[in-house]
Amino acid sequence: MSDSGLPDFAQPPVDEVALSLQFPPIAGFTVPHFGLYWQWVRGDYPRSEIKPPITNITEEFGPGVAFARQMRIALTDLPEVRCWYFDDSGNRLVQVQRDRFVINWRKVTGAETYPRYPDLRDRLEREWTRFCEFLRNEGLERPKVNQCEVLYVNNIEYGKGWSGYGDLDQVIAALATPKAQNKFLPAPERMSMNVIYPLGESAGRLYVTFNPVVRARDGKEVLQMTLTARGAPKSASDDEVFAWLDLGRKWVVRGFADFTTDTMHKVWGKQ
């Protein structure tokens, strides 16, 4: 266990982490503002790219609300874009669109060491403060955060605790049951899984997915486990926003530990 009381791993299979803040579209924020903001952060993030926007997503609860996440798409005459700003290494990334602010850490070469959540949380706090200062300087209102998201992408490689989809019981705890004898079906070639958990007290939901993917940087097939915690903070204050992110991180880390086996925990150096 770490000092936070959460499970900790010396070599976690983390490939990417994103901490995201969603809010109503910023009134008056237009395409030129993306370039103006870049001038504020270019010393730290000298590279940029234009991407399609991320869909606005809100977790809803109550009578008549399905368990599936609810999507709301705002119609506007303004062009909707998302801008990436990233450092020379490509590991650190800031994403901005009219209704979302995101910081990422990701592996590029595969040799990088995950910097851990407290470091990413501190960076989000700094960058969010700088973004809000930029908006104030431009005469724009400070965004009121209505959804927070914590996303971890884990790449589980073959040959490290398991060797194929017939060994998934060595990876996924829910499948770690005695194997049936004289079974008809052979070992599966591929498997996907999608599980949703409520966080409790209508705080949000945890999404856990498993999918086979081909990793772009080396063309290697891996089992990708993605955990996404999403929900609404109690208020739009920074204290409540970051308190929700801490809650989301707790659910992601504990969910990861619960969903995976002791066999894999040994591979990843559980402490």
From first to last of the 271 residues of the chain, give the pLDDT tens digit.
455 789 999 999 999 999 999 999 999 999 999 999 999 999 999 999 999 999 989 998 887 666 545 555 555 566 789 999 999 999 999 999 999 999 999 999 999 999 999 999 999 999 999 999 999 999 999 999 999 999 999 999 988 999 888 888 899 998 876 565 667 777 788 889 999 999 988 899 999 999 999 999 999 999 999 999 999 999 999 999 999 999 999 999 999 999 999 999 999 999 8
For residue 72, CA distances in Å to 24, 200, 206 come to 11, 23, 19
For residue 49, CA distances in Å to 34, 42, 93 come to 11, 13, 11
Task: Look up residue 188 and give its two tokens.
Answer: 């599966």
What does the angle CA 61 – CA 258 – CA 15 come to, to the nearest 5 degrees?
90
Q: Are strands 100-106 and 14-22 parallel, antiparallel or unpaired?
A: antiparallel
DSSP 35: H
The whole-angstrom separation of Cα 71 and Cα 73 is 7
For tokens 């869909």, the residue is: 55
pTM of the model: 0.92
Q: Which residues, 6+ apart, have CB-to-CB distance to 45 below 8 Å?
A: 38, 85, 86, 87, 92, 93, 94
